[in-house]
Chains A and B, each alone.
Chain A
Amino acid sequence: MSDPQAIRVENLGRVYKIRAVKKGEARERVALTDVNLDVPRGELFGLLGPNGAGKTTLIKILTTLLAPTTGRALVAGYDVARQAPEVRPRINMVSGGESSGYGLLTVRENLWMFGQFYGLDTQTTHARIDALLEIVGLADRAHTKTSDLSTGLRQKMNIVRGFLTDPEVVFLDEPTLGLDVGASRDIRRFVRQWMAERAGRTVLLTTHYMAEADELCDRVAIINAGRVLACDTPANLKRRLQREALFKLETSPLVNGALTTFQTLPGVRKVLHAPHDGFSALDLSLEADSALSGVIGALTAHNASIISLQKREPTLEDVFVDVVGMSMTEAEKHGD
C-alpha cells in the first residue's frame, strides 16, 4: 500500500527459449529488452504496439505468470518474481479473444467460481456480479450457459471476471479484440467509469488500436520489437509533432518514381504513399507549411492533378510513425 507506484519496471528483459524446428535456427527469441516503466496508482496506462511487440509478454510477467530473464518488476509494491503470493491477491487480468471458465456453467456460476478462488464470500460475490453485469449490460444473460454466448458477450463476462475481485491493479490485454464498435465502446466506458469511482485503482491496458489508446489512456508507452520507444500522455506525445505540418493529399495515380522525388524535396520529412483504385493518397509530414509549394510543383511536373488537400492534426498514428520509423501496418508485417 505504501508504494505510490502501482507498477515499477526496471531494466526488464525476457528471452524465450524456443525449440529449434530446423538445425541451426535461432534457439532464442528476445521478447523484451531493457524496459523501464513507472505507473503511479490511479493511472490508466496504455501499452501501444504492433503484433509481436512484447505487450503480452510484459503483462504475463507483471501478472506473475512468466519470470523476467533480467531486471525486475514490482506490482503494488511487491516483486512479481519473488513475492508472487503478495502480488496475486491484488491483481487481475483479462485477455481479449480468450474464453475462461467452463462452457456448461452459466455466466453467474462461472463468475462465482472465480470469485471463490480469490476468497470472496458468496454474498459479496453475488452482489458484485449483479452490479457489474448491470453495468456491462449482461444482466439479462446471467443464467445463460457461457458456451451459448457470442464472442462479444463472452468478452463482457471476462471483463466482469477481471473486475469482480476489486483488484488494485488490473491488466487488460487487448480487451476489445474482435468486438464490434458498440461493444468496444461499452467496455471502454465501463473501464473509465470504474477508474472514476474507485480512486487509486490502476489499469494497464494493451492495444494496437491507436484511437483506443488515445481516447482512454492517461499515459501511453509505445513499444516495438521489445523496446519502449516513447512514454508520455497522448497530448504530450502529439505535441512533439506539432512542430511539423501534416497534410493529407489525394492525387491522380502516381508512379513510384514520383515518390522518391518528393522525399528529396527541401522541407519534406516523410511521405507515406497509399495507391488506391483510381487515385493515390499521400500522407505528408513537412517541416513547415511553406514546403508544400515544392510538393505541388513536383506534382505538376509529374503531370499529376490534385483531387483534395487537407491539413490535419497529429494523431498517435503519427507519433508511432515518428518514433518507430514506420506505420503500425508496416511494423506488423515486420513483426513475426
Chain B
Amino acid sequence: MLNTLRRSFVPAAWLGWQIESNWTDPFLFLVFSVVKPVASVLILVFMYQAVSRAGADAPIYAYIYLGNAFYIYVGAVMAGASYSILDDRERYRSLKYIYIAPVSIPIYLFGRAVARFITGTIAVVITLGAGALFFRVPFNPLTVDWPLFLGALALGIVCLTFMGVLIGTWTMTLRTEPWFVGDAVAAALYLFSGAIFPLTVLPSFLQPIGFALPLTYWLELLRRAVLGPGAAAFPTLAAFSNGQLFGILGGITVVFGLVAFLGYRYFDQVARDNGMIDAQSNF
C-alpha cells in the first residue's frame, strides 16, 4: 500500500505540478489560474445586479456567491482529471508508459489532482477575498467555524477526487475531442448541486438527482461554516444538523469511492479492448 502510494501518488503530484506550472513564470501562472474561475463568479454577480432589487444583503446573494466560489474546486478537480488523461495520452504520448509501469491509475489520477487542488485553492481564496472586499459578501475569517469548514472541505475533496477518477477513466475510453469532458460534466452538475440556487427551485422530479449528489451536502456544510446560522435561510436542508450532513456526505463519499473503483475497472477494460491507451484522437 505504502509502496503504491510512493510509486503512484508522489510522482504524479510532482508531475502534475510541473505540467501545470512550468510553461511560464509564477506570476503569469497565477493570473492564468484564477482568471477563469473569477470570471465565472463575476458572471453571477452581474446577473444578480442586473435583476435584483434586494441588493447584496439578501441571503440569496451570499448563497450564490459562496456556492459558486467553492464550486471552483469541482471544475478544477473534474476537468483536471480528464485533462490529465489527455495530456498524457495525446500531448506527451506517455499514457502507455504509465500504464505499463507498476503504477495504479486511480492513485496516479489522485496525485495529478493535487496540482489542480492547489491552483483551485488559490482561486477560491482570491474569489472569497474579492467577495469580502469588493462585492459585499458577508465573509469574515474571524467568524468562520474553521473546524467545520476544514473538515467539510477535506471530506468533500476526497469525494470530488473519486468523481474525478471516474471522469478521468471514462475519458480514457473516449476519442472525440474530449478536452472539455470534465468541464462539461462540472458545468452540467451545476444545475443539480444547489451551488447557485436552492434545490427547491428545481421542478420536484429533478430534485432527487440533487439529493443524491455529494456536492449538495458539501456546499451546504461549507456555507454554514462561513455564514453561521444565516445559511439556514433556505429550507432545502434546514432540517438536517451539521452532524447529519456530515454523515450523509461521508456515506455518499464511500459510495462514490466504490463507484469510482468499479468504474475504473470497467472503463479500463473498455479502453484496452478498443486500443485507446495509445490512441491519437486529433482530427
**Which A residues form the contact surface with B (CB < 8 A)?**
102-105, 147
Contacts and interface: CB of A to CB of B under 8 A. Distances in A.
B282 A147 contact: no
Nearest to A148: B275
Tell me if B's interface is mostly helix, strand, loop or mixed.
loop
Contacts of B283: 102-105
Interface string B252-283: 00000000000000000000000000011111
A147 B175 CA distance: 13
A103 B275 CA distance: 13
Contacts of A102: 282-283
Contacts of A147: 279-280
13 contacts: A102-B282, A102-B283, A103-B279, A103-B280, A103-B281, A103-B282, A103-B283, A104-B175, A104-B281, A104-B283, A105-B283, A147-B279, A147-B280
B131 to A, nearest CB: 39
Contacts of B175: 104
Contacts of B279: 103, 147
Interface string B20-48: 00000000000000000000000000000
A102 B281 CA distance: 8
Interface in B158-179: 175
Given A102-B282, A103-B281, 7 more contacts: A103-B279, A103-B280, A103-B282, A103-B283, A104-B175, A105-B283, A147-B280
A104 B281 CA distance: 8
Nearest to A105: B283
Contacts of B281: 103-104
A263 B279 CA distance: 55
A102 B279 CA distance: 12
B199 to A, nearest CB: 42
Contacts of A104: 175, 281, 283
A145 to B, nearest CB: 11
A92 B277 CA distance: 33
A105 B283 CA distance: 9
